[in-house]
Structure 1
């Protein structure tokens, strides 16, 4: 369920003042309509720069997502916007990220963004997991796998994003090709097998109009995908069909239903093949 958004001007004065210790007096505040997890989400400018601010109350049920993003940020150079500062005061936890210019990735068949996302996932799949506390992929999927033995396919030592929603991928309109995409929103960062993010991408590609076979051809662009045994990919597809079925049953709306349909289509494709 989406978090209720609060405009930056409604922050306690002490929290606003703490932000401006890092930014200087704010000149513009552009509240963001994107994202589901933050109470504060805004692009702000001052005389000294531009930042994207994300924030939650420290007593919010998902306050852990702020801590997770702050913990993983130092290990994401070239993969995500840099975290410039963090403020914890007056009951708020606020993160100030490098503000990126660009657009949300278009996952539709034929989109010029697809090679950029594939290049991003290649870089990510080569990134070892930092020595910080993260959930393991096999833990996250243990209640959804068809067979307990399937969980061994998901274990690994790589740093995963796991939420390949196209709104979480920003493509710079000016940077040179092959290094234009960045991932935002690392709340669900996970430790696991290097190929899993390519698998998560497959589901979103199908939801964007790809056939399961076409989506898997894009996954083929990521070398780590070739390390996955076919039965492991099928097990992953089955587990995610169960995940999205549960999500869409609990919170039915067009986007959850489309992801549930995509995940089921992928699983059926794997079983038929």
Structure 2
């Protein structure tokens, strides 16, 4: 989960692939927010419309997330920007999305964005993970971080989960929150997305009690047994420790590790 360096210019080879589909580009605004895609750009087309494009080299270790996002998109209408096309060529894998004007979510205490995020998260909880897409399950993703493998059964379920609740992945537009970057979508228990959000809320300044208070309105939160949540907090603390171990001190992953550890200690 280390950040990828964003390109500051759209490579000529990628531009050629895009313009073969869209026609001439009037302007290219390279964006820096987010983590996973070397190309992230807002493009103005010759007809005056705008689209958002993200892309990776076809030999990128995470290029599979591009296809995952394209496949998931048809099941997330209204929750995510619509995928317009998926192109490969000249060594690039490129996704074109409808462009949405918005700002990244603010998770700090008292933010007016919090109820909007929770509303979208609650809508997603009603979505069944499509069987036609090969999604990892949360037991699979957490198996290396639990004390007792029997705890993994509580993480299982049929709900489509986003799982990557970094504020950059949530766009606030008007009175709605829209979700982007679905490359880590998974299948599992419906209470897991709000549990993951708790860690981001703590990292954004909430106390564990305040963060848990925020997610109590989620329809699935109270369906989880206390031991299941406790086991999940411990697994998350270990997962973030593992991720942070490969990064230099001061990077955001260390902050997330501390937030996850704070929640795990609170649950004890």
TM-score by structure 1 length?
A: 0.93
Q: Which runs of 5+ in 1 are unaligned?
A: none
C-alpha displacement at 1:200, in angstroms?
Answer: 0.4
The residue aligned with 2:82 is: 82
**Distance between the aligned counterparts of 1:228 and 1:83, measured in 2?**
33
C-alpha displacement at 1:7, in angstroms?
Answer: 4.2
The residue aligned with 1:142 is: 143
1:1-273 to structure 2, matched below 5 A, reads 1-12=2-13, 15-48=14-47, 49-131=49-131, 132-172=133-173, 174=174, 177=175, 180-252=176-248, 253-271=250-268
Contact 2:42–2:50 (CA under 8 A) maintained in structure 1: yes
Contact 2:7–2:30 (CA under 8 A) maintained in structure 1: no
Deviations 1:132-164 (A, max 9, x none): 111111000000012111101100001001110
Contact 1:44–1:50 (CA under 8 A) maintained in structure 2: yes
Instruction: Classify the secondary structure of the residue corresponding to 1:62.
Output: coil
**Distance between the aligned counterparts of 1:6 and 1:21, measured in 2?**
21
C-alpha displacement at 1:22, in angstroms?
Answer: 3.2
Over aligned residues, Cα RMSD in angstroms?
1.2
Instruction: Classify the secondary structure of the residue corresponding to 1:201.
Output: helix
**Distance between the aligned counterparts of 1:159 and 1:75, measured in 2?**
9
Deviations 1:84-117 (A, max 9, x none): 0111111111000111111000000000000000
TM-score by structure 2 length?
A: 0.95
Contact 2:10–2:39 (CA under 8 A) maintained in structure 1: no
Deviations 1:171-192 (A, max 9, x none): 00x3xx3xx1011101100000
Contact 2:109–2:205 (CA under 8 A) maintained in structure 1: yes
C-alpha displacement at 1:257, in angstroms?
Answer: 1.4
C-alpha displacement at 1:228, in angstroms?
Answer: 0.7
**Distance between the aligned counterparts of 2:115 and 2:6, measured in 1?**
33
CA 1:156–1:168: 2 relative to 1, 3 Å: same
